[in-house]
Every structure is written in C-alpha cells, then in structure tokens.
A and B are shown apart, each in its own frame.
Chain A
Amino acid sequence: MPPPAIVTEQLTRIFGAHAAVDHVDLCVPTGAVYGVLGPMGAGKSTLVRLLLGLVPPTSGAAWMMGYNVRTNADSIRARTGVVLQSPGLYENLSAVENLDLYARIWHLPAAERAARIRELLQHVDLWEKRNERVGDWSTGMKHKLAILRALVHRPALLILDEPTASLDAADQEILSDDLTILAHQEGVTVLVTTRDPKEAALCDEVAIMHRGRIVMRGAPQSLGGENAPNRVLITGRGFTQELLGLVNSRQDVRRAQIEQNRLVVEVATEKTCAAIINLLVESGADVTSVIKCNDGLETTYRAILEKNHATEPVV
C-alpha cells in the first residue's frame, strides 16, 4: 500500500487572534479524490496555502508526498497542480499561450509541450477555440482551462480550491464530471475544497471543516447514513401548531416544522416514522402521503452548520 499523499498533524495557522486553521489532522490516501467541505471562512483556502507552502504554519506539521511543507515546499510545488478560486489565467493571452507558459515553467520539451496542449484542449472540446483571447470566454470555459493548466505537467497531486464556486449549477455539474474523469484518467491524487455538499459527495472521502477545525471525516455515504437525521415529508391536512408542538416534544424527533402545507420531521431513526404517523392520525390529522428521504452528506453538513451557529457566542 503506497504511503499517504497528504498528512497533516495538528496543523495550525493563526492570523492575529484568529485561528484560520486550527489543529487539523488529515490523511489523504494516494490516488484518492479527497474533499474538504466547509462554508466560506472555514479555513479551506488557508489550508491549501499551508499545504503548498505559500504561508508557513504557526504550529503543527504537514507532509505532501513525503515532503515537509516547512522545509521542502519547492519540491511539493514541483509535483503539484493547483487551481485556486480564481482561474488565475492571463486574460489577454490565448488558451494555447496560457498553457504554453505553464508548460515552459515546468520545463516540458518543445515537442512534448505542443502535443500535451493539444491532447488536453481536445479532451474538453476547447481545441477549436485555442487561439481565442481567454478574456472573451465564459466563466465555465475559463475554469476548464485552469484545470487543464494544472494538469499540463502531469502532476502526482492536484489541489483544487473551490474550483466551481463561481459557476452556475449546470456548469458546476459539467466541470465536476470533467474533473472526475480527468483525475481518474491521469491517475492523480486530488484534494478539492468546496462549499457544495453535492460536489463533495462525488469524492472518495470527505472532511467537513468549520471554523478552522475538521469536525467530521469519512466516506460520503457513511457520513450521510450514520450521522444525518432521516427526514420524513408528510402531506395532508389538519397539521395544527398544537400538533406540531406534540411532535416536537417527542424525544426521538430532532426537529419538526410546517413547510408549504407539509409537515417536515427529522427523526433519529427510521423506526420513529411509524410512531409519528400513528400520533398524527390519532390526533385527527388527515395524512395523504409520506415520503422518507435521507439527504446524506448535505443533511449532515447543514446540521453541523446549524448546530455551530446556534452555539456561537453572542458578542
């Protein structure tokens, strides 16, 4: 079994009095697509900067592909491809010129440079637009090109810091698919940070980050299935506030609320569902349909955010 691609031990970065990254422990297996899911300001970008050696850690340690980020940042960057939140493209230059610049930076020989640029652009159907000024392109196309730029030197590790944050839903989906295909074809380890649980659900493993700390980690299925509450959407009539209070008072109910004439109940286990239906019917409500759903990672993520928001001290 190959050693992990990324290991961090109690990695911390403090800006003034604020801990942007707070005692983070990570272990990213080689060849995996690993997601770091967290809201804006969670410390994801600072974590990426720490791993790339762009900022030094205040305390703790990190190794990428066996290299220490404090002492061997150059070796790490030489083996890594990076896409940051902004595509970071030279907008006055064409797609080929942008890729050619980075191919030269990585000292690719001239013949290999041309072949690699052609291969990458053709793969995402941008070859026809290779000589167009990148500034005239759509945001989605720019992000695609930024990912190609990160892959131009065939890195062992790809780091993507919210690569789809500024895209609309359709472009996000296309780009995520392209990225997954490219990553598996190229056989690289991928670390992707995101605010979108759906995007994180595509990863092999996910760490949920909040206020600089990793609060949960594991495979997306296990995070969603084991920890997320099951939701029951009950449609019908007669859902009064009194009945809502009754449902909310049950110990096996996490939360119940009325949304658009539907009673939405978050239950601890699926077994609770039948008991609630009985309670509603016995109380005189008319239940017409019951839909059980498990939003998995998304539900877990939102629950974590809400819990942390509720416990936030009032200044």
Chain B
Amino acid sequence: MKLLTCPVNGPRNITEFQYLGPVCAASAEQPEQLIESLFYAENPLGVMREWWRHTPSNTVFVAERHTVSDQILATYLPSRKPA
C-alpha cells in the first residue's frame, strides 16, 4: 500500500485520493496563456507540484512528488505553503 499524507487527515492509502494534475504556471484567465494552461502541462523527470484531493473528506491540497522515484516529498494546503 502506498501512503499519501493528507494535510488534514494524516497518512492514508493513496487509493483514497484523486489525482488532479500538475499545478500549472500559466493562467487560464490570461487569454495569451490559455492554450499553455489547457494543453501544455508540466511533465518533468524530477520533482513536480501537483493537485490532489482526499476524496472522503474533500480536502484539496498540493503535493510535491518526484516523477521518477515516485517519492512524495511534501504535502500542504494551498493556503499554507511551507517556507
């Protein structure tokens, strides 16, 4: 079982979570960045910031995860990004 730590509920089985994709730098609000934000998502070989949701509690948060090792380095609520 792979664990993901929800910032509110603590470590839980990763099957309880929904993956919502990479945090996109481009904004869909800006017309010139629309295509970038829609189609050109992050796809690094390395650490990626991404949105996750703990489904039972509907907690949406950010995780930092390495896309080669699958190691989860940090999870936090979007309003409380650690320094």
**Is A bound to B?**
no
Q: Which residues of B approach A to under 8 Å, CB–CB?
A: none
